[in-house]
Every structure is written in C-alpha cells, then in structure tokens.
Structure 1
Amino acid sequence: MLNIFLLALPIYILLSIGFLAVRLRYIDGAEVKGFGSIILKIFLPAMMFLAITGNPLNETLRWDYIFAYAVGSLAIYALGFTIVRLSGRSFGDAAIEAMGMSCSNSAFFALPVATLVVGPEVALQCFALAVLVENLLMIPMAVSLCEVGQGKAPVSVRGVATSILRNPLTVAAIVALVWTGFHLPVPEPADQVLRMMAPVAAPVALLIIGGSVAQLSLRELDGGVARIVIGKLLGHPLAVALVFMLVPSVPDPMRVAGVLGAGVPMISIYSLFGQRFGRLGLTATAQVLATILSFFTLTVALRFLQP
C-alpha cells in the first residue's frame, strides 16, 4: 500500500505547489491562465500529434478502446441525468450535473496520472483516443442538452462543428490522422522538437490544475455536489471498467489508463460551463471537492489497477 501511496504522491505534490503558489500570491492567477493557454494550445496539441503519428494508424486508432470509453461515458451520463431528474431537479440541472460526472480532465490530469502508471507511450495513445471521445461526442452533447435545459433552441450542427474545430486538440488530432493516413513521414527536426516538448506538458499541467483550484471556492454544498463528485470519481471509472470487461481485445495497460482517465476530476472548464448556465456555485464546489477527494479514490484505484 505504501508503494501505491508513493506513486500517487508526486501528482498531488505538484497540484499542491500550484495551489499554494496562487494562494500565497507567489504567482498571479492570471499567469496560471496564461500558462494553461500555452500548454493547451501548443504543448498538448504537439503531444496529440506525436501520439497519433508515432505508430501506424491501425495501431493508434483503437476502435475497441474508443467504443469502450465512449459507451462507459455515455452510460454514466445517462444514469446521472436520470437520477437527477428523479430527484426532482430541472432538465438543465440534470444536464450540467451529468456533464460533471462524465467528462474527464484528460489533458491536464489523466495524462500525467497515466504516464506515471503505464508509461508515456500508452498514456499518450489513450490520451489521444479519450480526447477524441470527449471533444467529438461527450462535450458537444452535454453542452447541447444544457442549452435545451436553458430553454434555448438546440445548437445547430454547424455551430457544434465550428466549436469542435476551434479546439486545438481536436485540430491536432485531425491533422495527425490525415498525416498518418497518407503515410507521410514526420521530418526529423520536427520529430525532435515534438519529443522535447512532450515531457514538459504533464507536470506543468498539474501545476496549472492546482493553481486553477486555488481560484475557486466552496460556494454551496448540497445533494447536487455530492451526486456530481460520486458520479465522477466512482461512477465514471466503474462504468468504463465494466465496458472494458466486455471488450477483451483492449490490452491491459490501455484498460488501466482508461479507467484511471475516467476516475480523475471533471474537465478544467467545468466551472466556466456552470457560470454560463447559471450554476457556478454548484460546479465550482464540485470541482474543488472532486480534486481533493480524487487523492483518496485514485490511490485506492491504483491499488487494484497497477500493472
């Protein structure tokens, strides 16, 4: 058990450093946002491109993994949505709560965690596939349902497509898929640059998460917060793990990375969606608690999942 604790500890030390740096005003919150933009728009797309072009397309684009991760995520979204509605909350509340249960912070949290456990090669591949599921399916679907819950017309297909294509990770994935599909070689200087950038993104991403959480606050504690946190840290990884059991072709290291990815806190911009849809207190509180409690849930998960 001590080995598992020591494996998880560096992750939360980096989170704590980022948290304290902002809380103690050593780093301004605006600087954290700037670092986050650099990682999101430059380093993570570079890693995405490297992950997809590093192997033949038929090896990188694992449809069995995509299927299992997508079905598990959709299952917890549907279950969470139904539970919230049965509790008497509105359609909009159900949509935003279910979003928190089913959309993981793959870029800033899952990738560093999986890298420590299964190594950078498997972690990068699973990160690329998870980002495709989240950015092409889960987030557009969740935002569309939130819009419906606000009494607005559903977003158009064109609007969803535009939003997807503005995401640098999605753009990097599409470019990499086309590049690999045409069997184009990555020039040696470009490959070297990408490999120099890859080790930087994961630790800096954890610092950014810590600094971002330091700028949030516990504004409300109610049943909705509890539902979101339980659904995200327990329901989502369990749902993904169950579907992986039905898809035996997925290699064990990828299963581990997938379950860990489902078990991390929700997407970093969850509180921004909460603000947009009038539930900032709910989403910010859930995000803070999920980040804190994930130390314990991920430590337990590592106990059973470590290869």
Structure 2
Amino acid sequence: MLSMLTTIAPMFIVLAVGFLAGFAARFRQAQSGLNAFVFYFGLPSFVFSAVLAAPPAQGVPAAAIPLAAGVTLMLSVLTYAATRAMGARAASGAAPTSLAATFGNVGYFGMPITLSTVGPEAALAAGVLHLTHNMIYMTGYPVVRTVATGATGPAGFRAAWRRRLWPIVRKAVLLNPVALSMAAALAVVLTPLAVPEVLSESVAMVGDTAVPVALFAVGLAMHPALEGVRSGGVPKRAITLGTAVKILVLPLATWLAVLPLADHLGPVWAAALVLMAAMPSSTTVFVFSEEYDGDGRLAAAILVAGTLASILTIPLAAEFLLL
C-alpha cells in the first residue's frame, strides 16, 4: 500500500499545486488554454509515444470494450433510478448524479496512473478504454439530455441534431485528437512505416508535458466546482450515492465482471479495466451538468468528494490488483 501510494502521490501533489495556484486569478484565467493544450496536443502526443514505446501488443480482447461500456452504462441507469427513488429533492438531480457517478477522469488521471502501476504494456489498453469511455459520455449525455428535457425545440430532433448535437458527436468521435493519435500510432506499430527520430522525439517532448499540465488543470478546475458546492442546495444523499458508486461500486462491479473473463482478457487488460473504473469523476461532469441540466452544483460536489477520497481508494485498488 505504501509503495503504491508513493507511486501515485506525485500526481496528487501536482493536482494540489494546481488547486493552490487557482487562488490567483491569472491562473484561473489560463485554465481554458491549458485544457485546450492538453486535449489537442499533450494527451494525443502522450498516447502516440506510449503506444509506440509499449511492448508488442496482442490486440484488443473481444470482450474488453463491451464489458467496459456495459458495466458503466448499467450502473449509470441504476444510479439514476436509485436517485429518483430518494424523494423529490434528490430526484431532480438524478441525471447529474448518474453522470458524475460513472463518467470517470480516464484521460488526465486514468492513463498515467494505469501506465505507472501496470507498466508501459498497458498503453494500448488504457488508450482504447479512454476512447470508449469518453465517446459514450461525450456523445451520449448531450443527446439523451437534449431529448429528455425537450430542448429540441419546435423544429424537432433533426434540427437540434444538425445544429447542436452533430458538432459534439463529430468532435468526440471523428475528430477526437486522441483517437487520431492512436490510429497513427497503430499504423506505425502494425505496418512497416517508421517515424523519423527527430519527429518521434519532438512528439515525446510534447507528450511528457501532458500529465503534469493535465493534473495542474484538474486542480484549477476544482475551484469552480467548490464554488458550486459552497452555494448550497445540493442533497447530501445524492452526493453520498454518486461518490460511493464512482469510487467503490463501479470498480468492484468491473472487477466482478472481469473475473470470469480473466483468461480471455489477460492480466494487463483486466487490471486496466478495473483501474480505469476506479478513477474519480471527470471535470467534464461539472461542465455538462451546467450546460444540459442547468445546475452543476451536485455534479461538482460528487467530483470534489470522489477526487479527495480517491487519494486512498486508487492506491488500494492498484495494490489489490497487483497482489
């Protein structure tokens, strides 16, 4: 436990530095630029270099993507139903609770933590699971909430899809920088193509900045989340449920689903699946909840609580997997 905590602790320290920097307006104002850098340059370069440097991959197990998607979506629906059953006050926040309880920080947290604990051979698994998770939520939640809240307007779903939803889907799926970088890396790994050394070293330099800048940006993002929490008006039972599902129930359910398929998945994919599920909520849950639910305070509370609790739960999960 102590050795695993020592391995992961530097990442939380960088996050804490970002949080402390967020008390200064100049850094809070830089948050959007930092996020854009990580999304378009840092993380794609990190993924490209990690996949190229990884030992030869055995491919993607057939059950990996359906398992990751199935467990997450099932718990999202169950969390929504459980929140609705808690009474009128909690029921109004059922959608953001289910979102924050299952949409994890698989990019900024998940990929570096998985590679640092499992090893470089987990690069392909971490990249594929990151894409699977993000594509489900970055496309699914906007579509579902737009339809459910009647935000399609008098012009109907087709017009809303063309004007609002298709640009989101296109960006998340077709033009996703991480997906494009992984496709490029696999093209190099699986074909006789070669990357000139000067180019691969340049990409690696940019990729080396991804983790610290991403974690710093997560620390900055905690400030608007905390401001939402301080404003009050969020049901504590929904916060408790969402946090418990995200950092305890989701990784446990994923582990139980992985057990009968362990031989098919192999140790690397099995560990990556559980570790990715153990990540705290993505900072995007606050943004999405603000935009599509009209109030991001509940999602923010689950994000903050889960991130703090994950300082202990992630090392425990990693230690358990590597026993």
| Both proteins in one fold, TM over 0.5 | yes
Q: TM-score range by the shorter chain?
A: 0.7 to 0.9
Mind listing any 5+ residue stretches in structure 1 that lack a counterpart?
none
Change (3 A) 1:140 1:292: same
Partner secondary structure for residue 219 of structure 2: helix
Do structure 1's residue 299 and structure 2's residue 307 form an aligned pair?
A: no
C-alpha distance in structure 2 between counterparts of 1:193 and 1:121, whole Å: 22
C-alpha distance in structure 2 between counterparts of 1:120 and 1:83, whole Å: 39
Q: Deviations over 1:197-255 (max 9, x none)?
A: 33321222222211221343123342222221111111221122122113222222332
Identity of aligned residues (%): 24
- Which residue of structure 2 lines up, in the alignment, with residue 191 of structure 1? 200
C-alpha distance in structure 1 between counterparts of 2:56 and 2:121, whole Å: 15
- Which residue of structure 1 lines up, in the alignment, with residue 170 of structure 2? 162
**Pairs within 5 Å for 1:53-202:** 59-88=58-87, 93-122=93-122, 124-153=123-152, 156=161, 159=166, 161-164=169-172, 165-176=174-185, 184-202=193-211
Partner secondary structure for residue 8 of structure 2: helix
Instruction: Please say if residues 40 and 168 of structure 1, whose CA atoms lie closer than 8 Å, have aligned partners that are also in contact.
Output: yes
Partner secondary structure for residue 6 of structure 2: helix
Q: 2:246 aligns with which of 229, 232, 246?
A: 232
- Which residue of structure 2 lines up, in the alignment, with residue 266 of structure 1? 281
Change (3 A) 1:297 1:186: same
C-alpha distance in structure 1 between counterparts of 2:297 and 2:77, whole Å: 23
How many residues matched?
A: 305
1:173 to partner: Cα distance = 3.8
Change (3 A) 1:139 1:88: farther
Change (3 A) 1:216 1:82: closer
Q: Deviations over 1:257-279 (max 9, x none)?
A: 22121111112211111111212
C-alpha distance in structure 2 between counterparts of 1:261 and 1:213, whole Å: 20
TM-score, normalised on structure 2? 0.82
Partner amino acid, structure 2, of 1:199: D
Instruction: Please say if residues 76 and 99 of structure 2, whose CA atoms lie closer than 8 Å, have aligned partners that are also in contact.
Output: yes
Q: 2:295 aligns with which of 279, 287, 292?
A: 279
TM-score, normalised on structure 1? 0.86
1:27 to partner: Cα distance = 5.3
RMSD of aligned C-alpha atoms?
2.9
Instruction: Please say if residues 216 and 288 of structure 1, whose CA atoms lie closer than 8 Å, have aligned partners that are also in contact.
Output: yes
Change (3 A) 1:5 1:50: closer
C-alpha distance in structure 2 between counterparts of 1:50 and 1:66, whole Å: 22
Partner secondary structure for residue 216 of structure 1: helix
- Which residue of structure 1 lines up, in the alignment, with residue 4 of structure 2? 4
Instruction: Please say if residues 96 and 142 of structure 1, whose CA atoms lie closer than 8 Å, have aligned partners that are also in contact.
Output: no
1:175 to partner: Cα distance = 4.9
C-alpha distance in structure 2 between counterparts of 1:9 and 1:55, whole Å: 24
Instruction: Please say if residues 68 and 247 of structure 1, whose CA atoms lie closer than 8 Å, have aligned partners that are also in contact.
Output: no
1:167 to partner: Cα distance = 3.2
Change (3 A) 1:11 1:53: closer
Greater shift, 60-69 or 77-86, is seen at 60-69
Change (3 A) 1:143 1:246: farther
Partner secondary structure for residue 83 of structure 2: helix
1:178 to partner: Cα distance = 6.1
Partner amino acid, structure 2, of 1:224: A
Q: Which has the larger radius of gyration?
A: 2
1:196 to partner: Cα distance = 2.9
Instruction: Please say if residues 132 and 170 of structure 1, whose CA atoms lie closer than 8 Å, have aligned partners that are also in contact.
Output: yes
